[in-house]
Amino acid sequence: MTLADLYKHLLPAFPVYVRKDVQTAVRVLASALDCSDPQHCFPEHFDRPLPTLYQLVERYQITQGKKPHTIRNNKNKLSLLFRHAHTQHLLSLPPPQLVRSYNILHKTSRPGSAITRPHGISIPFKSWPSELQEAFTAFATWSTAPMVPGRDAQLKKRPVTVNHYRIKFESYFGYLHHIEHVPQLAFDQLFDLTLVNNYVLWHVNVQYQRPTATIRLFLTMLISLSHHYRPLPDFRAEVIKLLKRIPVPSPLYDKADAWVSCATLRDIARALWPHKLPQDLRICKNRPHTGLQYAGQAGISLMLQLWTYIPYRQRNMREMQLDTNLYKDTQGHWRIKFHGEQLKIARRRGKTNVFDLRFPPQLVPVLEDYLTLWRPILLARAGHPDPHVFLTQFGNVYNRNALGSTTSHIVYRYTGKHWHPHVIRTVWATEMIRKGLNFLDVAEMLNDKLETVIANYAHLLHGDVAEKVYRLIDEPNGQGK
């Protein structure tokens, strides 16, 4: 079956407004494969992994001077074509052969990280005067307690948020001590407009010599603090004006440096899955914990695959517990459930936030193999019962840095990209929106606010609005004909 025959066979499966675009993509692919026409493009020409076909199309159209959105649209339509072909069992392209092509020892710093970061002048909390410590502790208690007289429920903060406040205040009080030479540090100095203004000018003009996200976050914290915890409307209004005068800094990093598609991430995960069973591993006397590396790889493999279906935050992957978050319902289906303080957004519209989804059925065999074959090896290494689903190969619970470095190193070895766990949410949302998933469903899967998702991803729909409008106008609909 030639490429032209494949298109004709699948033509009824495409909406009318898509057919012309798919036909264009087919012609582009044939040209990229050095075929004079899709009718003369045989399986031996296009029987290659889909990423390889994408690369050929991209190279060919770049030489033609085509714009990125045109190239992207053609690749999307080819993906649609081959997905339908696979569904109808007409064609199955070979999977990409992933190999570890990059040495982690030769990994260079991510572009943007080389910007000089001056030595900090922070004063750690333990070195604060006792009265300042007590004042901040009172704020932390007010912020994190389940219920406080006079405090609205939605103002409750997570401990990690209060910790961010502490870190920013450590820098501020360090400035007061080392630069302003204030003799006695006090909590009230957070509301001294002159000191705050001097700190902002020093931070931007002297310490970093550019506006930073850090100083903007510090001012945002003061705005919140002076609004809810200690109402000071005049001070708050002046800080808002000060914040508006600070330019929004340009991003230090280009997300393209860390961008790895969900499909590639799944391929990496499958490549990681152990090729041996525990009973087939050779046991050595001087290695009592045989199979720890394989068991650790099995856990990361499951984790990466799960991320491509449900874009959990890194914290949820680390803290996921068996029988508490991951469990079987009354019908025997695996589910994952987080609620309240286990989530970044603990409450929504005055109610406890609950994020409860069925575990992806396609991954259930992988999950059950991991739980029965590989996780017991990690538990044996731990030496004690542990409810956490994912454990390191040393039997420990992952912390943020360990999970980030482990997964990013693995992905780097296969892709050479500076991937990190947080970027999966951006990649997942971008891919789903481009495939047609609506913003409400994307927000539901991200467990995020609809307004946040629209603000961050609405630009994805801007590229070819005119082309969509023209197609709708020209599409036969029985009117004016």
Domain spanning 256-461: which CATH class is it, in words?
Answer: mainly alpha
Q: Report the C-alpha gap between 340 and 354 in whole angstroms.
A: 7
| The predicted structure's pLDDT at residue 479 | 46
* pLDDT band for position 468 (cuts 50, 70, 90): low
| 362-393 per-position pLDDT tens digit | 999 999 999 999 999 999 998 899 999 999 99
Q: Determine contact, residues 343/355, Cβ cutoff 8 Å.
A: yes
CA dihedral 244, 245, 248, 249 (to 10 degrees): -150
Q: Which among 72, 20, 25 is positioned nearest to 471, based on CA atoms?
A: 20
Segment 103-113 shows an average pLDDT of 82
Residue 41 has pLDDT above 90, yes or no: yes
CA 308 to chain centre: 10
pLDDT at 480 exceeding the cut of 60? no
Q: Is the pLDDT of residue 478 over 60?
A: no
User: What is the average pLDDT value for the chain, to the nearest integer?
Assistant: 89
Asked whether the predicted pLDDT for residue 407 surpasses 90, the reply is: yes
pLDDT of residue 131: 97
Type and span of the H or E element at 351: strand 351-352
pLDDT tier for residue 165 given thresholds of 50, 70 and 90: very high
The per-residue pLDDT for 164 is: 94
263 and 79 in contact (C-beta within 8 Å)? no
Q: How confident is the model at residue 114 (pLDDT cuts 50, 70, 90)?
A: low
pLDDT at residue 278, rounded to an integer: 83
Per-residue pLDDT reduced to its tens digit, 233-289: 999 999 999 999 999 988 878 888 899 999 999 999 988 998 878 877 765 555 555
Our separate counts of H helices and E strands in the chain read 20, 5
Rounded to whole angstroms, what are the CA distances from 172 to 46, 125, 190, 218? Answer: 61, 12, 8, 9
